[in-house]
């Protein structure tokens, strides 16, 4: 028998059906996550050899250097006879790195050096430990630039002018480089450095031994040092330098030594005052030195030679212009035997000189520098030498006639 549903029952049944369907959970649709980008691989460290003479030693080292080519043209007046020559002033390669925690090394070679290809070779130690206010210690041993003066400590590639001044030669003696040991520390704005060196200059590969049977035939060593202040992140520096001991001094010893034989030495002392500032595009640097030199005769019983009291100084002024230009002016003066009898002192009849150099430097791009300079000299002048390093002390002869030399060089660092 068919069942009849009332309209009310039919409506109630449909309502319950819809309610049940609404409560049925519907699975959510989730977006598929994108995979993370593949990370870039870490650089592979340079392998450390496990066998052979380099076992356990790091092989990485920094190689860099610079090349300077140069042209000189003298006007032919005074002692500077006409010279028109191209030369390679510097061609230096440096190798440096870390041999261990706090232990560094540096070796610099330059095949054109008259003393041989070795320019620098030293081991350094920079301990991390501090001692009271002394927060930075530095130790070096080997052949290095002596820690004295401002310009003397400036690497050749960083010079504003074509060459170091004769004032630096007077302060440092035979060379800016020598064999020895040095230490230094920095306390806030104070810098202190001191070193003990042979006094014979760089190691000479042409004559590594002498008649005395050793590299250093001198009885005494030299002691050098500098104490100074540094402000405004090295923009302003000033200091006092000293040097004393026994050395061979080409400014006083005129005759070159015989091959393999020691030359007459000189006992000396020097004091130097330096200051520099580079503020608001203005570059100012100057040094003044004073000292005493007594020649020592090696021959037994001959006694010492004459004594000369000398002084020297220079002042450099420059202004940095846009596009890497630096016009500059430098004046320097030296008198080796001031106040002494010129007829009896160190053979020289006249030994003073002054020089004025006017030039412009240009750094067209990074790591490239073009220097141009014209230098007027009166007094004990010297001549640029063809196919050799320019040495302000070599062949110095007095002339009361002013002479000039135009020079230009191009430098590239690598």
User: Mind listing the pLDDT tens digit of every residue in the chain (414 residues)?
Assistant: 454 545 545 454 544 454 444 444 545 545 555 555 555 554 555 555 556 555 656 656 899 999 999 998 888 776 566 678 888 889 999 999 988 888 999 999 998 887 788 899 999 998 876 666 666 789 999 999 999 999 999 989 999 999 888 899 889 887 889 999 999 998 889 999 999 998 888 877 655 554 444 456 677 889 999 999 999 888 999 999 999 998 877 676 544 443 443 446 788 999 999 999 999 999 999 999 999 988 776 565 666 767 788 899 999 999 999 999 999 999 999 888 776 665 555 555 567 888 999 999 999 999 999 999 999 888 766 555 443 444 544 555 566 778 888 999 999 999
Element (H or E) spanning 369, and its range?
strand 368-381
Burial category of 308 from C-beta neighbours within 10 Å (exposed 0-12, middle 13-18, buried 19 and up): buried
How many Cα atoms are found within 13 Å in the side-chain-facing hemisphere of 121?
9
Number of neighbouring beta carbons within 10 Å of residue 15: 10
- Return the pLDDT at 211: 42
Count Cβ neighbours within 10 Å for each residue of 102-127 and write b for 16 or more, e otherwise.
Answer: eebbbbbbbeebebbebbbbbebbee
The CATH number of 76-413 is: 2.40.160.10
Q: Would you say 235 and 278 are in contact if contact means Cβ atoms under 8 Å apart? A: yes
Q: How far apart are CA 397 and CA 347, in angstroms?
A: 12
Element (H or E) spanning 378, and its range?
strand 368-381
Q: How far apart are CA 271 and CA 224, in angstroms?
A: 10
How many Cα atoms are found within 13 Å in the side-chain-facing hemisphere of 375?
28
- Return the pLDDT at 392: 47
- Return the pLDDT at 346: 58
Q: How far apart are CA 121 and CA 140, in angstroms?
A: 10
Burial category of 196 from C-beta neighbours within 10 Å (exposed 0-12, middle 13-18, buried 19 and up): middle
Q: Which of 117, 150, 153, 265 is closest to 199 using CA atoms?
A: 265
Q: Would you say 136 and 102 are in contact if contact means Cβ atoms under 8 Å apart? A: no
pTM reported for the whole predicted model? 0.78
Q: Which of 338, 334, 317 is closest to 326 using CA atoms?
A: 317
DSSP 4: P
- Return the pLDDT at 100: 83
Taking the domains of the chain in order of start, what are their residue ranges?
76-413
Handedness of CA 209, 211, 213, 219 (dihedral sign): negative
- Return the pLDDT at 127: 85
- Return the pLDDT at 200: 81
- Residue-by-residue DSSP string for 196-244: EE-SS-S--SSS-S-TTSSS---SS-EEEEEEEEEETTTTEEEEEEEEE
Q: Would you say 381 and 393 are in contact if contact means Cβ atoms under 8 Å apart? A: no
């Amino acid at each position: 028998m068919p069942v009849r549903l009332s309209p009310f029952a039919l409506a109630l049944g449909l309502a319950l059906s819809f309610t049940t369907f609404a409560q049925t959970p519907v699975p959510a649709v989730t977006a598929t996550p994108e995979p993370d980008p593949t990370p870039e691989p870490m650089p592979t460290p340079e392998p450390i050899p496990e066998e052979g003479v380099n076992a356990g030693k790091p092989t990485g080292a920094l190689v860099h250097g610079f090349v300077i080519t140069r042209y000189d043209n003298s006007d032919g007046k005074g002692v500077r006879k006409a010279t028109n020559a191209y030369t390679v002033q510097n061609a230096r390669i440096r190798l440096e790195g870390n041999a261990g925690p706090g232990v560094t090394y540096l070796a610099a070679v330059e095949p054109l050096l008259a003393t041989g290809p070795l320019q620098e070779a030293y081991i350094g130690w920079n301990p991390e430990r501090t001692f009271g206010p002394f927060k930075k210690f530095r130790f070096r041993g080997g052949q290095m630039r002596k820690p004295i003066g401002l310009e003397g400590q400036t690497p050749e590639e960083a010079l504003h002018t074509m060459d170091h001044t004769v004032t630096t030669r007077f302060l440092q003696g035979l060379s800016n480089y020598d064999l020895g040991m040095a230490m230094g520390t920095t306390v806030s704005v104070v810098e202190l450095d001191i070193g003990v060196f042979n006094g014979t200059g760089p190691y000479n590969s042409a004559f590594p031994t002498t008649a005395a049977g050793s590299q250093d035939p001198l009885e005494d060593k030299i002691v050098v040092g500098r104490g100074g202040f540094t402000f405004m992140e090295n923009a302003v520096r000033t200091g006092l330098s000293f040097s004393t001991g026994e050395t061979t001094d080409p400014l006083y010893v005129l005759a070159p030594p015989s091959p393999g034989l020691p030359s007459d030495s000189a006992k000396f002392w020097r004091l130097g005052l330096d200051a520099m500032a580079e503020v608001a595009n203005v570059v100012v640097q100057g040094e003044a030195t004073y000292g005493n030199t007594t020649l020592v005769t090696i021959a037994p019983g001959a006694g010492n030679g004459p004594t000369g009291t000398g002084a020297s100084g220079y002042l450099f002024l420059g202004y940095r212009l846009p596009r890497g230009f630096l016009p500059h002016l430098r004046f320097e003066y030296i008198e080796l035997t001031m106040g002494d009898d010129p007829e009896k002192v160190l053979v020289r009849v006249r030994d003073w000189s002054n020089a004025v150099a006017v030039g412009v430097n240009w750094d067209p791009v990074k790591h490239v520098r073009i220097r141009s300079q014209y230098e007027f000299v009166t007094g004990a002048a010297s001549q640029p030498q063809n196919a050799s390093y320019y040495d302000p002390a070599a062949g110095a002869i007095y002339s009361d006639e002013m002479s000039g030399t135009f020079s230009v060089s191009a430098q590239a660092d690598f």
